[in-house]
Structure 1
Amino acid sequence: MEVYLKYFLIGLAIAMPVGAITVEMTKQGLKNGFIHGWAVGLGGMTIDVTLILAMYFGFASVLALPYVQIPLWLVGAGFLAYLGYDSIKNADKDITPADEKTQKSFFSTYRNGLLVAVSPGNLIFWVSVFGAVLSDSYSSSHSGSFAIAACGVMSGILIHDLGLLSVVSVTRRVMSRSMIRWVSVIAGILLFGFSLYFLYEFIMGIVGYV
C-alpha cells in the first residue's frame, strides 16, 4: 500500500503541470464536452501503458539510446506543430453547445491524445522513474512492486484528468462561443510553443551527439 500511495502521488504531481496533453484535453473538453476531453487523456494513457509494458519487458535500454531519442524530438515537434496549426485554423469550428450532442468523432480526439503523448519527454520520464523501480523489483522479495508502482502512477494521472475535465465541463456551460474560440487559439499557440521546444531539443541533441 505504501508503494502504491507513493507512486499515486508521483502520478498526480507529474500530471498537474500544464503540458501539451493538458492543453489539448482542456481545448477538446471546452469545444466538445467531457467525453472528448477524456478521449485525449485516454490516448495519452495508452502511450503511458505501452511504455510501462516496454519497460517491463526490457526495452528501457533501447528507449534510452540517443539515436532513438533524438529523432523522436523531431517527430514530436511535427505532431505538436500540426495540432497547433489545426487548433488555430479550426478555432471556430467543431464547437458544440453544452446542451447539444457533438458530432465529432471520439476516435479523432483519441488520436490527438496519442500524437501529443509520443514525445521524448514522456519516454525519458518512464525510463528514469520506472527504470529504478524495475531494478528494485528484481532484487526485492515483493515481485509485484513494479506493477503496484505502475498502477499507482496511472491512478494519479487518471484522478487528475477526471478532476480537470469535471472543472472544464462546468466552465463550458457558462462560456460563450467566442470565448471557447479564443481558448482554442491560445491552445494552438501553446502547442506551437511546445513544438519549438521539441525542435530546440532535437537540435541540441544533434549538436551533443556529433
Structure 2
Amino acid sequence: MLGAIIQQIVLGISLAAPVGPINIEMLKRGIERGFWHAWVVGIGGMTADILFMLLIYFGLSSVFMYTYVQAFMYCTGFFLLFYLGFQSVKQGISHSSMEYKKEEVGGLKQSFMAGFLIAISNPLNLVFWFGIYGSTLSSLLTKVTKQEAFLYSLCIIVGIILWNLNIAFSVHFGRTLLKQKALGYITAGAGIILVGYSIHFAYKALQLFT
C-alpha cells in the first residue's frame, strides 16, 4: 500500500511539474508579492483540480466532452491569460522598478481567483485529469475498493501541493538574490509566455469549428 501511495504522490508531482499557465502565474505573483501570493495562486489551481477530480470520480466528466463546452473554456482561457499576460508585461517594463501599487497587483483573494480561473478554464487541464487521472482511477477500481481509490486520489493532490510549495519557496527566496531590473525582465518574460498560451487557446478554439 505504501508503494501505491508514493506512486500517486509522484503522479501528482508529475501533473504539476510541466511549465504551464499556473506555474507562470505563481512565478509572476511570487516575484511581485512573495511566498503567500505564489502559494495562494497554487491553492486556487488545486481547488479547480479537486473539482475536476470529483467530477471524474463521480462519473460526470462527459459534460466536458461537448464541443461548445470546450470552445467556451478555450475562449475564457484566451481572454483571461491575455489580460494577465498583458498586465505582467506592462508591470515588467514599467519605470517603477518593480515597486508595484497594491491595487495593481491585488490581494490574496485576487491571487486565489487568478489560480482558480486559469485552472478551471484551461482545457489542457482536462486532458491531464480526464486522460491520466481517469485512466489511473479506472485501473485502481479494478484492484482496490472505492474508499482506497479515493485515498490514492488524495495522494495525487498531496503531490501537487508539494510541487506548488517548491515553486512558492523557490521564487520567494530566489527573488531576494536578483536585482530589481532582473525581476522586471522575468515578470515581463512571464507575461509574454502567458500571452503565448492565450494565443494557443484562441487557435484551439478556432480549430473546433473548422
Counterpart residue number, 2:60 = 59
Alignment partner for residue 122 of structure 1, among 122, 125, 147? 125
CA deviation profile, 1:21-68 (whole Å, cap 9, x unmatched) = 111101111111000110110110010011111222221111223332
1:163 partner letter: N
Alignment of 1:32-47 (within 5 A): 32-47=33-48
Pick one of 101, 112, 115 that aligns with 1:113.
115
Aligned-partner residue type, residue 183 of structure 1: I
For residue 189 of structure 2, the aligned residue among 178, 186, 193 is 186
Moved more, 146-155 or 182-191: 146-155
Map 1:58-137 → 2, pairs under 5 A: 58-91=59-92, 92=94, 95=98, 104-117=106-119, 118-136=121-139
Q: CA deviation at 1:136?
A: 4.2
**Residues in 2 aligned to 1:11 and 1:138: alpha-carbon distance in whole angstroms:** 18
Which of 142, 147, 160 is residue 144 of structure 1 equivalent to?
A: 147
1:197 deviates by 1.0
1:97-151 per-residue CA deviation (whole Å, 9 max, x = no partner) reads: 9xxxxx9511111111112212111122111123234444554442223312321
Q: CA deviation at 1:85?
A: 1.0
In the other structure, the counterpart of 2:165 is 162
TM-score, normalization by structure 1: 0.87
TM-score (norm 2): 0.87
Distance 1:26 1:119 in 2: 18
Is the Cα contact below 8 Å between 1:64 and 1:124 reproduced in 2?
A: no
Match of 1:173, SS? Answer: helix
Q: Deviations over 1:71-95 (max 9, x none)?
A: 2112111111111111112334694
Partners in 1 of 2:158 and 2:3 — Cα distance?
14
Counterpart-to-counterpart distance in 2, 1:84 and 1:16: 20
Matches of 1:134 and 1:61 in 2, distance apart? 15
* SS of structure 1 residue aligned to 2:129: helix
The Cα offsets for residues 123-181 of structure 1, whole Å up to 9 and x where unpaired, read as 22111123234444554442223312321211111111111222212211122222211
Percent identity, please.
Answer: 30
Counterpart residue number, 2:21: 20
| RMSD (CA atoms) | 2.2
Q: Given that residues 63 and 127 in structure 1 are in contact (C-alpha distance below 8 angstroms), is that contact kept between their aligned partners in structure 2? A: no
Give the whole-Å Cα distance in 1 for the aligned partners of 2:66 and 2:140. Answer: 23
Distance 1:94-1:35 versus aligned 2 partners, 3 A rule: farther
Q: Which runs of 5+ in 1 are unaligned?
A: 98-102
Contact residue 85 and residue 188 of structure 1 kept, 8 A: yes
Q: Is 1:3–1:148's contact at 8 Å kept on the other side of the alignment?
A: no
The alpha-carbon distance between structure 1 residues 13 and 29, as it changes in their structure 2 partners (threshold 3 A), is: same
Q: Which residue of 2 aligns with 1:176?
A: 179
